[in-house]
A and B are shown apart, each in its own frame.
Chain A
């Protein structure tokens, strides 16, 4: 006799919980992306500072840290389970972005090593390749964040 209102309220509560769970999954992904973006940005500034100071050895080690953090970021984002189509798309873009950043770090490190070995042509080629990966990764990262707003 009184089952209908109970069922109605329970259904409403369940719906609320499920929708909140979906929002929480995307929010967690967003927070994750935010955290790792900050770290990547800090690493990138260290690379830039070393390059500006014309210290290729320091630039190389900073680039390796950038590369490592990019891969860690990728692992962190890969573990997220977005529950909406937009969230899933954002996750895919972010994964590719961090992969590109990892490759950029590798190329920057290779450029620094080539610089230290006085292999100028190789250093320039690696720097250019790294820049391409870096810019592509940046575009994808920004696109991913826009999807999560």
Chain B
């Protein structure tokens, strides 16, 4: 009788442990996703929202591509006064700024970007992979 009780207890314990592990693993998510995980939603809702986010990102990128093409094709003058380098750029961006500051006799009204751009461009391409 005692053995039977022990057996049942062990079996229930094993099942509970399995469920616990399963729950812990299923709920595991990176710390950077607080906004999505704090909202109480079903799995289907989360999946649907997630698909929307990817589609939204793809749309944003496609829109950016169109805008960059428009800017490249634009024959008009750029906004010189408002086009300033941000403070939080990456190292490659700083290279662009350094190149711009180091040369620049041939540009218009404060636009000091120079021929050293090409080297910066090559460096940037080298990061791809």
- Using a CB–CB cutoff of 8 Å, the interface residues on chain A facing chain B are 1-3, 5-6, 8-10, 12-14, 16-17, 19-21, 23-24, 27-28, 30-35, 37-38, 40-42, 44-45, 47-48, 51-61, 63-68, 71, 99, 101-104, 106, 108-118, 120, 123-124, 126-128, 130-131, 134-135, 137-139, 141-142, 144-146, 148-149
With A9-B14, A33-B54, A106-B127 as known contacts, state yes or no: A48 contacts B63, CB within 8 Å: yes
Closest 9 CB pairs of A and B: A13-B18, A138-B58, A20-B22, A116-B113, A41-B57, A145-B54, A127-B72, A55-B83, A131-B65
Which chain A residues border B58 with CB–CB below 8 Å?
137-139, 141-142
User: In the assembled complex, which residues on chain B have CB atoms less than 8 Å from the CB atom of A124?
Assistant: 69, 72-73
Inter-subunit contact A27/B120 (CB<8 Å): no
Q: Is A31 a contact of B29 with CB atoms below 8 Å?
A: yes
Pair count A-B, CB < 8 A: 271
Q: A64, B93: Cβ atoms under 8 Å?
A: yes
Chain B 82-108: CB-based contact to A (< 8 A → 1; otherwise 0):
111110011011001000100000010
